[in-house]
Amino acid sequence: MRRYRYYLPLLATFAAAAVASAQPSQSPPPSEEPPKPSTSERVGPSDPGLALEVQARLYQEMPNSSLSVLVRYSVATLNGNVRTDADRQRAESIALGVPGVVGVDNKLSVAPPVTVAAIEDAAVTTRRENDDIEENVAQRLRTDAALGSREIRVVADGLTNTVTLSGTVSTEEEKERAGRIAVSAFPVGQVRNQLQVQQRL
C-alpha cells in the first residue's frame, strides 16, 4: 500500500498534462496590417508643354482674352475672366479640342463689361509684347546658318516670363545652340528648351 503512495503525485502530474493537451490551443490573434496608402488620388507634376499648347490655341481663337491654363494628368484647368457665358463655354471647347486633353476644369468667371474691357486691354498689350519677343527669338534662329532650316516653334508667355522652344533638330549640339541663341535674344526671362532631336536621313 505504501508503494502506490509514491505514484500518486506522478499520476496527478500526467492527468493535468492530459487535460491541458485536450483543450483546443488558442492561436494568437492575427496581426492587423497597416492600411495601405490609397492609390486612387493621382498627384503629380503639371504638364507645361500641353498647357502651353492649350494657351496658344486660346490666344489664336480668343486673342483679346487673358486666360491662364494648368494641365495635370491631361485635365486642363482654366482660370480668368470672360465677357459672356458663351465665351466661357467656347474656351472650354477650345481646350478640349487640343490633342492630349481629356477633360476641362472650367473655373472661368463672367466679369462685368468694364472689368473685362480693362482685362482685354491688358491682354492686348501682353500679346503684343509676346509677339515681339517671339519674333525677336525666331529671327535670331532663322539667321543662324545651322538652325535656319529647322522647324523650331517659339512661344512666349508674358504671365510666366518664359519662352518655349519646340520642334525638331538634327543633333544635341543644335538643340543646345538653339537654347543659347534664345537666351541671348531673351535675357530677362526663362527659356524652356523642349526641342526633340531627330536625325535626318
Where along the chain do its domains lie? 45-111, 127-201
Please give the average per-residue pLDDT across 24-40, as a whole number: 46
Say whether 127-201 and 45-111 share the same fold.
Answer: yes
Domain 45-111: give its CATH code.
Answer: 3.30.1340.30
Cell of 113: 463689361
pLDDT of residue 130: 80
Tell me the DSSP string of 154-188: EEEETTTTEEEEEEEESSHHHHHHHHHHHHHH-TT
One-letter identity of residue 10: L
Buried/exposed 67-82: b ≥16 CB within 10 Å, e otherwise: bbbbbbeeebbbebbb
Residue-wise pLDDT for 98-157, tens only, equals 999 999 999 998 876 656 566 666 666 667 788 888 999 999 999 998 898 888 999 988
| pTM, 2 dp | 0.41
Domain 127-201: give its CATH code.
Answer: 3.30.1340.30
- Tell me the average pLDDT of the chain: 77
